[in-house]
Structure 1
Amino acid sequence: MNQTKYMKMSKDNKDKKVKLNKDSFKNIIRFALPYWPWFVLAFALIICISVADILQPLIIKFAIDDNISLALVNEMTIDEATKNLGMLALVYVGLALIHFLFGFVQEYTLQKTGSRIIMEMRNKMFDHVQRLPFSYFDKTPVGTIVTRICNDTSAISEFYTGVLINFFNDIFIMVGILITMFIMDVRLTLLTIAVLPLIAFASITFRLKARKAFHRIRTKLAAINAFISEHVSGMKIIQAFNMEKKKDEEFAEINNDYYDANMSRIKIFGIFRPFMDVVKSFSLALVIYIGAKQVIGTSLEVGVLYLFIRYIGNFFQPIMNLTEMFNTTQSAVVAADRISSVFDTKPESDHEIREPLLTPENCRGRIEFDHVWFAYIDEIWVLKDVSFTVEPGESIAIVGMTGAGKTSIINLLCGFYEIQKGSIRIDGVDIKDMTKQELRHLVGMVRQDVFMFSGSVLHNITLDNDNITLEQAQEAAIMTNADDFIRELPGQYDYQLNEGGSVLSEGQRQLISFARAIVTNPKILVLDEATSNIDSETERLIQDALVKLMQNRTSISIAHRLSTIQNSDKIIVLNNGRIMEQGSHDQLFEMRGLYYDLYRLQFE
């Protein structure tokens, strides 16, 4: 089976050495800085909890050695011992209550803060993605973008809620326990930590292997999301061409890669955790054996042995936590690196807030392409030295074979891409000097592939522009001949469409897109194959609407069906990125050139 791009994505970096990226780590911390008071509060609470955890075994030690043992050998009265034990029991319960109450507040504070950070991060990412140039979406699958905004931010959330504070908690507990054990008995403490070199070796090995596993999992998850996103969108094509079996096989291979990556992680954790338990058990057995001999020989108190037994479990758990925290951190850093790649992609160039150079009210609509060169990739030129002028109120059409560069002209005029050479001007103002918002207020666009958002018909006309009233939307629909069929829908303008508007015919969606384009009263109207996929009746409605829409507007139309553009003031003929002919239909027909050949090809 040929490798799809998703399979390639899932295999990328398979053997690449993963390294901590300091800049990405700084980005993780940067998002948390505005919330530092809450993290300080959580840190203070977790220190109190740690102190309570360290003190609780000490309370039991004091109960055994300073009360129970003394009472057993009649060195303390039973009443006195009972009184002391009651006080120690109250202190123990008090420490448990502190652990419960402070633990609840700390966990709630940490989870709430982490969730707010991730919410803000996702908001900023979505806002940033909306302002990225079209070239970014040409190269980046939708599923990958979804992974960045959803899954990768969740990985960072785990760092905020599970690592950032708990790291200091585990360090504090380890140091506190170690100091207490040294105070109680140096020999037993040295026996306890004798296994630390073995633990260090196991932890480093685990860290390196788990780091690679987490990286592979995220890469393969992005591949799955990208595959599903594209193929769900293209499900009609898959079913129409009986591609289900082949796509099942492709998805199964990608999904199997993801499964293998997860199994690698499971094996690593499956070995590390039991191994750490064995090391802990060995250390515990050693302490019990040596400590019990000392207790029997009366050189060690029973309470101290109990304390060591309790502390060994509490000492090794933070070591395991810290090792796994490192990999959570690594997973978060990998996610942060991916998120940083999104933020590092420069948005469409925009200018400082100022008064617009042109508005739909003062714009005349004169368009100039002045020696424009453009390439999507490097210097593979799509447009070559293109120059033409469209006068205010003039209608022009651009024709040519597939790949001639027609749509590229439209994309450049709308500011979707930046040109490499030359200039594009509207009323003498270079569009590079305009903000994207300013430029797109001047240009209304109707594309061949109409997209409908989930929501009401009114929402799809106004696109949630609060400055557009229902009356204005209805007026635009009437002008584009869309009002009649909208009135027949249940709920009319409040009728709810699903994503893509599949309940509407292509012609109905196209009529709504016409209303959407002119509702803001743009001075320039751009039609990109707007009548190519509609029936004759809808085409008649659109042609009737176009007569009204083009009045007092500059318009540029791209069309394969030459019958729809014969009345244009000027027709530009493109071939291989260059303008070959310009003129009216009659003038070009008389020239017997490329336009004449295209015309004969369609009608003869």
Structure 2
Amino acid sequence: MSGAEQKKHFDFSVLRRVFAFVKPYRWRFIVSIVLAVVLSFFTPVRPFFIQLTVDKATGKNVHTPWIIELLFPNRDLSVAWQFIIAVTVFQVAFIFIETAARFYFSFITSWLGQSVVRDMRTAVYKKILGLNLRQFDRTPIGTLTTRTINDIESINDIFSDGLVPIFADLLSIIIVLVTMFVTDWQLTLIALIPFPFLIIATYYFKESVNKSFIQVRNAVAALNAFVQERITGIQILQAFAAEDRELENFKKINRHHRNANIRSIFAYSVFFPVVEIVLAVSTGLLVWWLAGQGASNPIKNKELAGELVAFILYLNQIFRPLRVIADKFNVIQMGVIAAERVFKVMDNTDTLPPSPKDAFAPTERLKGKVEFDSVWFAYIEENYVLKNISFKVNAGETVAIVGHTGSGKTSIISLMNRLYQIKKGAIKLDDVNVEHYDVDVLRKNIAVVLQDVFLFSGSVMDNITLHNNEISREEVIEAAKLIGVHNFIMQLPGNYDYNVMERGNTLSLGQRQLISFIRAILSDPAVLILDEATSSIDSESEQLIQKAIDTLITGRTAIVIAHRLSTIRKADKIIVLEKGEIKETGTHEELLALNGYYAKLHSMQFEKSKTISV
């Protein structure tokens, strides 16, 4: 990324959008600003009182502070001891007050940042849940994960380590400088002679660290994507003995990450000693100037002793925040860059249209009549995968859809519950366009059982109910018994509380299918869509699954994506797809008699099964 691109990323409009999330907490934000101002005025107080003490000890005529009048009304102690006791009492009280203020300032800025992060993360996750599935086809999962977690966490730094702390530091520096000029403007100018060198060093440090941070961030993203993908595909890597090659690839990415971090460390290693050198030079100039003044006038030398001590403390109070202020500017810039990435997700308009205000939301279960009327659909622009698809399924009928891979079978079932948006035509359920339904009502009336069943890490019960507290354990057990799955679950360790682990890898494909059937029957859908569940499983599981399917489709409209033609002979209607178009429609016998596409598919599978059996 070039320097021009980096500067372009620091967009104040993005920062304004981030602060829009502060509105619910604006009073706490105001309190943090007030505390920043108060703490800035606290900064020069202790050096000032130390100066008074030194001045008094060296015999300089100093006005007696009111606190001494209050503590020692009878003046029964020496002046020196009065000052020592008074300053000690004041310093102790002041330290407690300042410490409490700094604690609350640190806490409230971090609390504010975490609250904004929580709200933004919720908003982003809500947005992701509503994105068109097409976005997940195009966007790597790791990218959305990074946006939701890592990038939003960087936005927290804008509050806890960035904008408000920078404001507090800058204000402190200004207050200290004003105090120094009021105390002795000549001495202040002498002390600030090396200051331009520090400003130049700070600028180059900021630029160097900023570039390093961006490189580190990109390297981290590359590492995350690489590791996530390789762990997901670890079975393939081990099966093809590719571990060593992938390890070398990982070492290259990891080396780039290390080098980027080292460049950042190098910048810090140079900058901090430079700050110390400039501070030492400033201190040396102070001593040199005051020594020159005192050489010609010993009395004045005593009078300037307090100023010397105070100015050394003032310089430390200036240089201490300057050590980190450049780093905090980088924190803000990286937070703005992260916010810009997050807002790109939030601004994504590729979502399914929301339910209309007058959405159709019947309370009773639908009958299940399905109609496709001249439906056209494309995943990418005008590259249609479905072309002029029209068919009807009466309530309670079973319709099978067959065709070669890529013919559009899965696309049809994805459109029914509005997972994707059609380009042209209409899809109707009980003679009502699916776009007119309340989305939740529509999807509760359509249950989908996919061939590749996804199970979340957690118990069997959680995967069946999907954490819906309205579904009781008794209802789950009753549904499992209805489709003949209860005995299988009871054989698992912990039965319904058995942890299936990530993606359900501790269960066989057939067992995962059976769990998905319970999900489907619990919603009591009007339409059941099956991406044929009996492919790629053993014969024993197939018999159990077939019995479950027979129970599921009873009294419901069923649309079956068929891979094995032998399983759909009893279907009321078979639709044959080829390259996104309907080529034939009819029963098993009717289609065989046509001797067309279906007959060829049947012949191919028959010959294949005959060859395998031989």
Q: TM-score, normalised by structure 1?
A: 0.92
Query: What SS does the aligned partner of 1:449 have?
Result: coil
Per the alignment, residue 140 of structure 2 pairs with 141
CA offset digits 1:33-73 (Å, max 9, x no partner): 221222332333343333333110111111111333349xx
**Aligned twin of 2:282:** 283
Q: Say whether the 8 Å CA contact 2:376–2:386 is kept in structure 1.
A: yes
2:479 partner letter: A
State the Cα distance separating 1:434 from its structure 2 match: 2.5
Q: Distance in 2 between matches of 1:184 and 1:296?
A: 21
Check the 8 A contact 1:52/1:96 in 2, yes or no.
no
CA-CA distance at 1:171 after TM superposition: 1.7
- Pairing partner for 1:350 from 354, 366, 376: 354
Are 2:244 and 1:245 equivalent residues in the alignment?
A: yes
Match of 2:527 among 524, 542, 545: 524
Does residue 463 of structure 2 align to residue 454 of structure 1? Answer: no
Q: Are 2:202 and 1:176 aligned?
A: no
CA distance in 1 between partners of 2:34 and 2:466 (Å): 48
Shift of 1:78: 8.5
CA shift, 1:519, in A, is 0.9
Aligned-partner Cα distance in 2 for 1:225–1:117 = 25
The change in CA–CA distance for 1:23 and 1:449 in structure 2 (over 3 A counts) is farther
Q: CA deviation at 1:191?
A: 2.4
After TM superposition, give the deviation of residue 355 of structure 1 in Å.
6.2
2:295: which partner in 1?
Answer: 296
SS of aligned partner of 1:382: strand
- The CA deviation string for residues 162-181 of structure 1, in whole angstroms up to 9 with x for no partner, is 12321221122111111111
* Residue 338 (str. 1) matches residue 341 (str. 2): yes
Instruction: Report the counterpart of residue 466 of structure 1 in structure 2.
Output: 469
Shift of 1:15: 7.3
Alpha-carbon deviations, 1:481-517, whole Å to 9, x = none? 2111112223322223222222222111101111111
| 8 A contact 1:443–1:525 mirrored in 2 | yes
Asked if the contact 1:46/1:102 (under 8 Å) is kept, the reply is: no
Contact 2:359–2:436 at 8 Å: present in 1 too? no
Does the CA-based 8 Å contact 1:479-1:549 persist in structure 2? no
Aligned counterparts of 2:142 and 2:217: Cα–Cα separation in 1: 13
SS in 2 for 1:17: helix
Q: In 2, Cα distance between the equivalents of 1:553 and 1:35?
A: 52
3-state DSSP class of the match of 2:355? Answer: coil
Output the CA distance in 2 between the equivalents of 1:498 and 1:563.
34
Q: Do the aligned partners of 1:399 and 1:406 also contact (CA within 8 Å) in 2?
A: yes
1:234 aligns with 2:224: no
Q: Which residue of 1 aligns with 2:434?
A: 431
- Stretches of structure 2 that go unaligned for 5 or more consecutive residues are 62-74, 608-614
**1:24 maps to which residue?**
14
2:107 aligns with 108
Q: Give me the whole-angstrom Cα distance separating, in 2, the residues matched to 1:469 and 1:272.
A: 63
Q: Which moved more, 1:121-130 or 1:592-601?
A: 121-130
Q: d(CA) in 1 for partners of 2:405 and 2:4?
A: 41
Asked whether the 8 Å contact 1:14–1:216 carries over to 2, the reply is no
> Does the residue aligned with 2:506 lie in a helix, a strand or coil?
coil
Which residues in structure 2 correspond to 1:534-545 (within 5 Å)? 534-545=537-548
Equivalent residue, structure 2, for 1:397: 400
User: Relative to 1, partners in 2 of residues 1:206 and 1:529: Cα closer, same or farther, differing over 3 Å?
Assistant: farther
- Seen in structure 2, the aligned counterparts of structure 1 residues 245 and 152 have a Cα distance that, compared at 3 Å, is same
Question: RMSD value over aligned CA atoms?
Answer: 2.3
The whole-number CA distance in structure 2 between the counterparts of 1:155 and 1:80 is 55
Alignment deviations for residues 263-305 of structure 1 (CA, whole Å, 9 cap, x no partner): 2322233333322332232222222222322233345611112
Q: Distance between the aligned counterparts of 1:414 and 1:16, measured in 2?
A: 46
Aligned match of 1:3:
none
Partner of 1:192: 191
CA-to-aligned-CA distance 1:298-327 (integer Å, 9 cap, x gap): 456111122221111211223333322110
Q: Where does residue 166 of structure 1 map in the other structure?
A: 165
1:413 CA displacement: 1.3
- Say if 1:95 and 1:52 are closer, same or farther in 2 by CA, change over 3 A: farther
Determine helix, strand or coil for the equivalent of 2:559: strand
Partner of 2:584: 581
CA contact (8 A) 2:361 2:438 kept: no
For the pair 1:314 / 2:317, whether they are aligned, the reply is yes
- CA distance in 1 between counterparts of 2:3 and 2:108 reads 40
Using the alignment, how far apart are the partners of 2:219 and 2:115 within structure 1? 28
AA aligned to 2:570 is: N
- Whole-angstrom CA distance in 1 between matches of 2:261 and 2:563: 51
Within 1, Cα distance between the matches of 2:215 and 2:378?
A: 35
Is the Cα contact below 8 Å between 2:371 and 2:390 reproduced in 1?
Answer: yes
Moved more, 294-303 or 544-553: 294-303
SS at match of 1:165: helix
Amino acid at match of 2:354: D
Map of 1:8 onto structure 2: none
- For 1:296 and 1:435, the matched residues in 2 are separated by 91
Which of 37, 40, 44 aligns to 1:47? It is 37
What's the CA shift for 1:354? 6.0
Separation (CA, whole Å) in 2 of partners of 1:391 and 1:462: 29
Determine if contact 2:371/2:392 at 8 Å carries over to the other structure. yes
Letter in 2 for 1:43: I
DSSP 3-state at the match of 2:163: coil
Please, which moves more after superposition, 417-426 or 216-225? 216-225
The count of residues paired between Structure 1 and Structure 2 equals 588
Matching residue within 369, 372, 377 for 1:374: 377
Counterparts of 1:279 and 1:239, CA distance in 2: 57
Would you say the 8 A contact 2:417–2:434 is kept in 1?
no
